[in-house]
């Protein structure tokens, strides 16, 4: 289904031609800008300042100077500031949702219901952890102290722009670190609003700094900088590898949340009438632009025809439309390069002989412009096919048949990735056993509610380290043993 509107919305930014460094908005060292394109119209809607290594140097110097005082603050003081950030996100949720919808095409209903509230949860969790986390424990005469690692470079992607920012910034500053953020140059508007929000919340100068720019310029400068102690990046495998290589010369800590090709195993006793539609919706959430999207649905061979019918019915009922319309469920793909990638992968599925159940190449019907992809389901997919092995990052679902549960587990693990996974089944003992055999950092049983405390991160080429909750918080801490403490 498709919907249209002539509505056009703008976002009031504190500034789009400056960076936030050392507690104030400041001009780039070399005047330059980057366009921000609305994926629904393919039109440039803003220009943001384009940073350089010199801008990174200024931000790092500010963060380094601010670190001693911020890291020495009481946890109560840091918690108060982070609590104010949480309040302001909720207070300004509509402006943030509008910015996200404009910059990367999220349906406004999805931005309001998911993109912004889940981002706020990362801040709440970081605040609450400070009241219970034990930064020092003593046992057998040895004190174990957990101390902030220092200055952190944070590199975030375009698909969940605010959510990924808060997942890094909140635990980092809660731990006592200071940060330099490089948001994606493709979706930087919500980051600018977030920077102003932190300023208004009373975050001290230098604790949080923002420099916009490209990966090869600003990202590389952050990764290689000798005065940055840690890098946290969420992005593609290629970007993650480049950052790790640049960071290696200074032996800094690097955590990476990278690609995924998550399986969704439907066991023979699953409630297919419920599990298949929910699986399609999970795979296509955020127009399929989620690293952990369960885009490989692994189903019993004797139920394949039934699954095809249920999947097609669900996919065909999704409302693809302009992001500002309340009824829209799927907006456009977030940018032109990703739209072209999705189109190429759909064509690859056809070329390799997968069965097209619904959707296919080209724009969604009725759209002459905008990066609107057609919700697509392939069946009879072999694990060797590109669509079964490569991350597509769009609304494309692969149905893969199995004959035994052991084969289902083997298919689930037959990928270089290991970020997320799903298992559906009424026999919980069997479902848990299958979950334990899947090589992934997070496994969901029967579509549970999202848990912001559950550690999130990958096995294999899906990355290193964890985010969310205590595990994500501890990534920003060093461990010190003081022996003879008694």
Q: State the catalytic residues.
A: 257, 291
How far does the chain reach from its first CA to its final CA, in angstroms?
70
d(CA 406, CA 398): 19
Q: Determine contact, residues 55/29, Cβ cutoff 8 Å.
A: yes
* The token pair that represents 368 in the structure block: 């002459």
d(CA 198, CA 190): 12
Q: Determine contact, residues 315/97, Cβ cutoff 8 Å.
A: no
Residue 241, SS3 per DSSP: helix
* The token pair that represents 377 in the structure block: 């389901």
Write the CB contacts of 170 (distance below 8 Å, at least 6 apart in sequence): 82, 85, 122, 123, 125, 126, 127
d(CA 15, CA 38): 18
* The token pair that represents 100 in the structure block: 């996200």
d(CA 270, CA 118): 29
Phi, psi of 8 (to 5 degrees): -135, 130
Q: Determine contact, residues 155/231, Cβ cutoff 8 Å.
A: yes
Distances (CA, A) of 15 to 126, 160, 173: 28, 21, 24
What is the biggest distance separating any 2 CA atoms in the chain, rounded to whole angstroms?
74
d(CA 471, CA 418): 18
Residue 308, SS3 per DSSP: helix
* The token pair that represents 288 in the structure block: 């399929």
Q: How far is CA 440 from the centre of its chain?
A: 16
φ/ψ bin of 359: left (φ > 0), alpha (ψ from -120 to 50), beta (otherwise): left
Segment holding 349, helix H or strand E:
helix 336-351
Write the CB contacts of 5 (distance below 8 Å, at least 6 apart in sequence): 321, 322, 324, 325
């Amino acid at each position: 289904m498709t919907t249209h509107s002539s509505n056009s919305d703008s976002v009031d930014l504190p500034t789009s031609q400056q960076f936030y460094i050392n507690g104030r908005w400041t001009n780039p060292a070399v005047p330059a800008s980057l366009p921000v394109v609305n994926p629904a119209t393919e039109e440039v809607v803003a220009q943001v300042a384009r940073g350089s290594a010199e801008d990174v140097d200024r931000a790092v110097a500010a963060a380094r100077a601010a670190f001693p005082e911020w890291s020495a603050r009481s946890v109560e003081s840091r918690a108060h500031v982070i609590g104010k950030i949480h309040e302001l996100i909720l207070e300004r949720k509509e402006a943030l949702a509008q910015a996200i919808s404009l910059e990367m095409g999220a349906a406004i209903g999805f931005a309001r219901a998911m993109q912004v509230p889940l981002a706020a949860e990362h801040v709440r969790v970081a605040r609450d952890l400070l009241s219970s986390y034990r930064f020092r424990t003593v046992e057998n005469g040895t004190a174990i102290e957990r101390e902030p690692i220092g200055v952190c470079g944070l590199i975030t992607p375009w698909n969940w722009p605010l959510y990924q920012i808060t997942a890094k910034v909140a635990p980092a500053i809660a731990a006592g670190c200071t940060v330099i953020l490089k948001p994606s140059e493709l979706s930087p508007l919500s980051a600018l609003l977030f920077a102003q929000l932190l300023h208004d919340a009373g975050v001290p100068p230098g604790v949080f700094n923002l420099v916009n720019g490209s990966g090869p310029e600003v990202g590389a400068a952050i990764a290689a900088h000798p005065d940055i102690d840690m890098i946290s990046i969420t992005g593609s495998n290629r970007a993650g590898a480049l950052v790790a290589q640049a960071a290696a010369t200074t032996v800094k800590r690097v955590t990476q949340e990278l690609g995924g090709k998550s399986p969704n195993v439907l066991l023979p006793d699953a409630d297919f009438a419920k599990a298949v539609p929910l699986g399609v919706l999970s795979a296509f959430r955020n127009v399929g632009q989620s690293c952990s999207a369960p885009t490989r649905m692994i189903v019993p061979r004797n139920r394949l025809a039934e699954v095809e019918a249920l999947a097609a019915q669900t996919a065909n009922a999704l409302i693809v439309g302009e992001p500002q319309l309340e009824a829209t469920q799927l907006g456009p793909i977030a940018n032109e390069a990703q739209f072209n990638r999705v189109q190429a992968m759909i064509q690859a599925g056809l070329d390799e002989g997968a069965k097209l159940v619904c959707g296919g190449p080209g724009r969604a019907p009725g759209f002459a412009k905008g990066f609107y992809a057609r919700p697509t389901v392939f069946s009879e997919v072999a694990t060797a096919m590109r669509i079964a092995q490569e991350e597509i990052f769009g609304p494309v679902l692969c149905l893969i048949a199995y004959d035994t549960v052991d084969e289902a587990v083997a298919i689930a693990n037959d990928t270089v990735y290991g970020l997320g996974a799903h298992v559906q089944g009424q026999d919980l003992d069997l479902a848990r056993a299958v979950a334990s055999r899947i090589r992934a950092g997070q496994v969901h049983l029967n579509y549970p509610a999202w848990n912001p405390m559950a550690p999130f991160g990958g096995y294999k080429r899906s990355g290193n380290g964890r985010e969310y909750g205590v595990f994500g918080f501890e990534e920003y801490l060093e461990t010190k043993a003081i022996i003879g403490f008694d």
